[in-house]
Amino acid sequence: MACVAGVQLYLDLAEHIVRQATDWQTPAGMVGDPYNAPGVESVTATARYCAALGHLLAAGRCGDLRDSAVAAMDWCCGELARHIASGEQWPAAQFNVKDMMVLYGALAGSELELAPLARWAAQLTFDPGRLYYGERNFVFYSTAAETLRLRHRLTSAWEYVDALLDSQMAFWTPEGLYRDPNDPVTYDLTVRQSLAMTLHYGYAGRHTQWMREVLHRGALTTLQLISPCGVAPYGGRSNQFHMMEGMIAYFAEWQARQETDGDLAGALRGMALSCAEGVRRWVLQTTYCSLKHNMGEAEMFGQDGFGPGHNAHSGYGLLAANLFAGAYHVADESIRPTASSGGARLLHLGDAFHRVFATVGDVHIQIDTRGQAGHDATGLGRFHRRGVPIETALNMSLVREPGYHMPLPTAPRSVALGAGWPCADGWRYLSEADRESHDVTVTTCRAHGPLEFTVCYRFRDPEAWGVREVLEHYSLSARGLACRIEVPGVRRLRLQVPVIETDGEARSAVTVSDDGVEVRYRGHRYVVSVEATELAAQLRWRGRDYALRVEGLVADRFMEPWRAPNRNGVYRVAVFEVAGEALTYQASLV
């Protein structure tokens, strides 16, 4: 993980987004969205503007936007009071209150005249049982909101917060990760960021020690799964937005201050700063991108729905702004950030999340061992090298019928880098295996030097899948990736290789040859070479035994006629077919 960025980059990212959002503010104070109809707020956008601007004002930035901040707070408080009076559910109520309280705290310590503060304080004094709703990850926004209200004496008891936390104890893994339904990465990160925020603002209930322990364990795990490129893992809903890196930056900076081990504290700060560096190419564009692509926001490319007519550009963009700006305030610059070591690390999350993360120095892969329909394909979905654009090889897998908005025709099958084999009804691909179709074991073969491990997929219904098992033998080194795939019992085998066509701005040049594919993209090269395993046989003739060996050859290769878009852009799929039940491929990024 690079440590190029300093904490001022946190504020630069936030301010770049906030100043654009100021242009979307209505005279009433509501913050709209350039891709929504006039006067339509994407849920939470105005409150997230409040929080981002609150952090920036507290850091001595954006003083010229103080009136804009007051107008946004007035609008939010008016909505709060209106919904309480009517008994209607205020969409994302606890999300909004948490962020409103950040601005309240920033302005309460300023020279702002007392009248608005007194009015806001009256409106922010309420019974949370009448306002908040929802469960699972919603609960942690409530704990952060209530801790801030307690800090500013707008409520008076910890019992409500403690009871909320009581309800969530069953949803944590031994690694310190939170399990929202279907294990989406984003909703683990947001929960842990909310816990860190709750402690930062003075939580003093009976779960303090538990919170500190789970955050420590989760931070250690995050160091193992983060890409050296400074981007969060893929997986599940609400993915590929820069808020994910903002969440990591916040809780990693906070956790670094809690650690007594200086090396660990430095590694956490290095990870946090690498996340800011990892998203700057999209955020600091003239018009920021809320997702990791340049396909444009008008068609909601790659977005999860905020609601009919609600673009996530404002809501999720401003969430990233307030998280990065918040990370500035929890950072301790006396802790020297350090980059990740050049050693090897392997993490298998088998009982939850169902993913494998492997890193050797600057090279990193992520494998989804149980793909989730609509979000992630089974198999290798990420191959990174630090310094190479993350989408060059693959940053996330490709799925048919994605659960996020996709204005282009989608792939007819889910795709990851991996195997296919003939079946009675055509070809089957590992990438299409659903969560319940197979069992998985991961075996470490070599933990030092080149990292070597095997992933074995055993199908529960071999007749339906046409095979009993698929074995992937990985070798990851500083040079790149090598993988031998075995599918016992088949006579032919395919390797499908997704290759970037465009991220909406740059276009690739792709060359497919008899033994592989080369992609040139943004000044870098991605090369995958394919080899069939040698065919061996014993021949007996005239009473003597003869060994027959035939060099493995690629029997066929072609480019699928369709395109395969995901949240990062548009891909094509190169396919290589070999004779036999095994093949080896080598992949490199330079």
Look at residue 279 in the predicted model and tell me its pLDDT: 98
Q: Measure the CA–CA gap between 472 and 377, rounded to whole angstroms.
A: 16
Q: Which residue has the tokens 């049982």?
A: 129
Polymer length in residues for the chain: 590
Look at residue 550 in the predicted model and tell me its pLDDT: 44
Give the residue among 476, 454, 233, 377 at the shortest CA–CA distance from 368: 377
Q: Encode pLDDT of 412-451 as tens digits.
A: 999 999 999 999 889 999 999 999 999 999 999 988 889 9
Q: Is the model's pLDDT at 254 over the cut of 70?
A: yes
Q: Is the model's pLDDT at 551 over the cut of 90?
A: no
Bigger pLDDT: 587 or 113?
A: 587
Backbone φ and ψ of 528, nearest 5° = -125, 120
Look at residue 332 in the predicted model and tell me its pLDDT: 97
DSSP characters over 322-387: HHHHHHHHH--TTSPP-PPPSSEEEEEETTTT-EEEEEETTEEEEEESS--TTT--SEEEEEEETT
Q: Encode pLDDT of 261-301 as tens digits.
A: 999 999 999 999 999 999 999 999 999 999 999 998 778 99
Q: What is the mean pLDDT of residues 125-131?
A: 93
Helix (H, G, I), strand (E, B) or coil at 572: strand
The percentage of the chain sitting over the pLDDT mark of 90, rounded to a whole number, equals 89
Give the N- to C-terminal CA distance of the chain in Å, as an integer. Answer: 17
Q: Is the model's pLDDT at 552 over the cut of 60?
A: no
Look at residue 549 in the predicted model and tell me its pLDDT: 44
Six-digit token string for 282:
């999209």
Residue 543 confidence class, pLDDT cut points 50, 70, 90: low
Q: Encode pLDDT of 496-537 as tens digits.
A: 999 999 999 999 999 999 999 999 999 999 999 999 765 444
pTM over 0.85: yes
Sign of CA dihedral 266, 272, 275, 281: negative
Look at residue 309 in the predicted model and tell me its pLDDT: 87
One-letter amino acid of 114: L
> What burial letters (b/e) apply to 316-327, b meaning 16+ CB within 10 Å?
bbbbbbbbbbbb
The percentage of the chain sitting over the pLDDT mark of 70, rounded to a whole number, equals 95
Residues 6 or more apart in contact with residue 30 via CB below 8 angstroms: 39, 41, 46, 72, 75
Q: Which residue has the tokens 């006579």?
A: 491
> What burial letters (b/e) apply to 155-193, b meaning 16+ CB within 10 Å?
beebebbeebbeebeebbbebbbbbbebbbbbbbbbbbb
Look at residue 536 in the predicted model and tell me its pLDDT: 46
Q: Is the model's pLDDT at 539 over the cut of 80?
A: no
Residues 6 or more apart in contact with residue 334 via CB below 8 angstroms: none
Q: Encode pLDDT of 171-184 as tens digits.
A: 999 999 999 999 99
Helix (H, G, I), strand (E, B) or coil at 507: strand
Q: Which residue has the tokens 């991961």?
A: 442
DSSP-based helix, strand, coil % in the chain, nearest 5: 35, 25, 40
Q: Encode pLDDT of 345-384 as tens digits.
A: 999 999 999 999 999 999 999 999 999 999 999 999 999 9
Q: Measure the CA–CA gap between 483 and 528, rounded to whole angstroms.
A: 11
Q: Measure the CA–CA gap between 504 and 573, rounded to whole angstroms.
A: 18
For 166-232, give the secondary structure using H, E and C.
Answer: HCCHHHECCCCCECCCCCCHHHHHHHHHHHHHHHHCCCCCCCHHHHHHHHHHHHHHHHHHCCCCCCC
Contacts for 169-173: CB closer than 8 Å, 24+ residues apart = 171/136, 172/214, 173/349, 173/351, 173/352, 173/353
Q: Is the model's pLDDT at 1 over the cut of 60?
A: no
Q: Is the model's pLDDT at 112 over the cut of 80?
A: no
Q: Measure the CA–CA gap between 488 and 500, rounded to whole angstroms.
A: 31
Look at residue 154 in the predicted model and tell me its pLDDT: 96
Residue 109 confidence class, pLDDT cut points 50, 70, 90: confident
Helix (H, G, I), strand (E, B) or coil at 19: helix
DSSP 291: B
Cβ atoms within 10 A of the Cβ of 501, count? Answer: 18
Contact 528, 516 (CB under 8 A): yes
Q: Which residue has the tokens 């329909």?
A: 373
One-letter amino acid of 463: E
One-letter amino acid of 100: M
Q: What is the mean pLDDT of residues 210-223?
A: 98
Bigger pLDDT: 100 or 3?
A: 100
